[in-house]
Amino acid sequence: MGRFRSVLLAQADDLISLVYPRLCLACRQPLLRNEKHLCMLCRYDLPETGYHEDTGNRVARHFWGRVRLEAAASLYSFGSGSKVQKLIHALKYENRPEIGDMLGAYYGLQLRKSAPYSSARLIVPVPLHPLKEHRRGYNQAARFARGLSETMGIRAGTRALERINFTETQTRKNRQQRWENVRSVFRVKDAGQIRDTRILLVDDVVTTGSTLEACARALLDAGARGVTVATIACAAHL
């Protein structure tokens, strides 16, 4: 009976896939039955950086002289129109929060083997303004943090930081304009959980780094013992 039921469920799944095909979020091709979110080809083809194994990687160097970080890395590098950019777009604008969970859990398997990241005791996502989070329905950085927490075994403090001002979109601003836009908008909500604690600060993308810099400064000013940074992706032109 159990085998018969399994066959019926598989056939029903195949029928549903014909009418509503499940597509790979990176290449938009139909997924096979055992694939989820990403096809096997894209899983192996996406441009992983390996930056968590290189303390002098270009993401880390981007913050040198700006804010004191113990380490910084990104899972992927992306350019305009790339598969990674499509993934990020789906995560942020197509109501696909599970992408953050998936990529966080995947990256966590790598970061837990790297001392600067695994030594963190709290994972803190870059916060959205409550109005923007309400409109989107979730904070994509918090979903990434949740995935990381699952495989790294480190608690995620999704409300440790708050954004106290609603800022304009950063998309078309240069580095200086982005810094002016975010320099005073983040605040630590509970200094007790930050003080003398190593923090893993996470976000979806690093472009100019202004948002991450502002958050790291707020955490360090609140007494964090150290801050490392991890993002899903970094801009190719960083």
Q: From the CB of residue 64, how many other CB atoms can be counted at a distance below 10 Å?
A: 11
- The answer to whether residue 150 scores a pLDDT higher than 70 is yes
User: Per mean pLDDT, which range of 39-43, 74-78, 172-176 is the poorest?
Assistant: 172-176
Cβ contact 73:57 at 8 Å:
yes
Q: What is the mean pLDDT of the chain?
A: 87
Cα–Cα dist 127/139, whole Å:
7
Pull the structure tokens for residue 182.
């975010």
Cβ contact 144:232 at 8 Å:
yes
The confidence score (pLDDT) of residue 137 equals 96
Where do the structural domains in the chain lie, given as residue ranges? 1-44, 46-235
Query: What's the N-to-C CA distance of the chain in angstroms?
Result: 57
On the CB side of 13, CA atoms within 13 Å amount to: 12
pLDDT digits (tens, 9 = 90+) for 26-65: 888 999 888 888 999 998 899 999 999 999 999 999 999 9
Phi/psi for 193 (5° steps) reads: -85, -10
Query: Band of the pLDDT at 177, cuts 50, 70, 90?
Result: low
Cα–Cα dist 115/52, whole Å:
9
Q: From the CB of residue 15, how many other CB atoms can be counted at a distance below 10 Å?
A: 10
Cα–Cα dist 112/150, whole Å:
11
- Specify burial of residue 238 (Cβ count, 10 A radius: 0-12, 13-18, 19+): middle
Task: Report H helices in the chain.
Answer: 2-19, 40-45, 58-63, 83-93, 98-111, 115-118, 130-136, 140-152, 175-182, 191-194, 210-221
Cα–Cα dist 211/228, whole Å:
14
Task: Find out if CATH 3.40.50.720 is the number for domain 46-235.
Answer: no
The confidence score (pLDDT) of residue 101 equals 97
Query: Band of the pLDDT at 173, cuts 50, 70, 90?
Result: low
Cβ contact 20:33 at 8 Å:
no
- The answer to whether residue 151 scores a pLDDT higher than 80 is yes
Cα–Cα dist 80/85, whole Å:
7
The confidence score (pLDDT) of residue 19 equals 45
The alpha carbon torsion through 199, 205, 209, 215 (nearest 10 deg) reads -40
Dihedral sign for Cα atoms in the order 62, 165, 231, 173: negative
Please give the model's pTM, rounded to 2 decimal places.
0.85
